[in-house]
Amino acid sequence: MRFQLAVGALGLAAALGVARADDLTVPVAVHDAGFEPAQVSTPSGARVRLEVSNETAAAIEFESFELNRERVVQPGQKVAVYLSGLSPGRYEFFDDFHPERKGVLVVE
């Protein structure tokens, strides 16, 4: 019974958009010059694992008002930002510590 509940909860969690193995990984690197690539696209409905790596010498803060995410990334580190259930559209993101660095996620 408890096992079935656990499976049910996991299934529900997966259906609602919790991280799992078949997430679509989208890498984005931060260089001194900006995001690379500056534009990434994903199909709508996919669970996206946006992998932000900081290749500069200073801390950055990946931030997006449109995606409702913010995350500090230490130099040399790589973080995974999970996104799910996004409707088609353009979602801008930037580095809050260096706002001139900008990028956009296009959900098709």
Partner 1 sequence: MAQTLLITWRETLEAALIVGMLLTYLGRSGQRAGIRYVWLGAGGAVLAALGCGAASGDALTLLGPETQELLQAGILFLAVGVLSWMVLWMGRHARALRGDLQRKADRALAAGRLLGLAAIAFVAVFREGLETVLFLWGIVVQSGTGLEVAPLVAAGLAGAALAVGTAWLFFRGFAFLRLQTFFRVTGVLLLLVAAGLLASGVNKLIGLGYLPPIVPQVWNTAWLVRDGSPLGALLSALVGYRSRPSLLEVLAFGLYFPPMLWALRRAEGAAEAARSDAARSAA
What residue type is 3 in one-letter code? F
- Tell me whether residue 32 or residue 37 sits nearer to partner 1 (CB atom): 32
Is the Cβ of residue 39 or residue 65 nearer to partner 1 in the bound state? Answer: 65
Interface ranges with partner 1 (CB under 8 A): 13, 16-19, 23, 32, 49, 56-61, 65-66, 68-69, 71-87, 96-97, 99
Residue 1 or 108 with smaller CB distance to partner 1: 108
Which of 83, 13, 15, 91 is CA-nearest to residue 49? Answer: 83
Residue type present at position 22 = D
Nearest to 24, CA basis, from 47, 8, 55, 56:
47
Return the number of the residue (1 or 21) whose C-beta is nearest partner 1. 21
Report yes or no: 70 and 96 within 8 Å, Cβ to Cβ: yes
Shortest spacing between CB 22 and partner 1, in angstroms: 12
CB of 73 to partner 1, least distance (A): 7
- Give the whole-angstrom CA distance, residue 78 versus residue 69: 15
How many Å apart are CA 75 and CA 95, to the nearest integer?
13
- Taking the complex as a whole, the smallest distance from the CB of residue 60 to partner 1 amounts, in Å, to 8
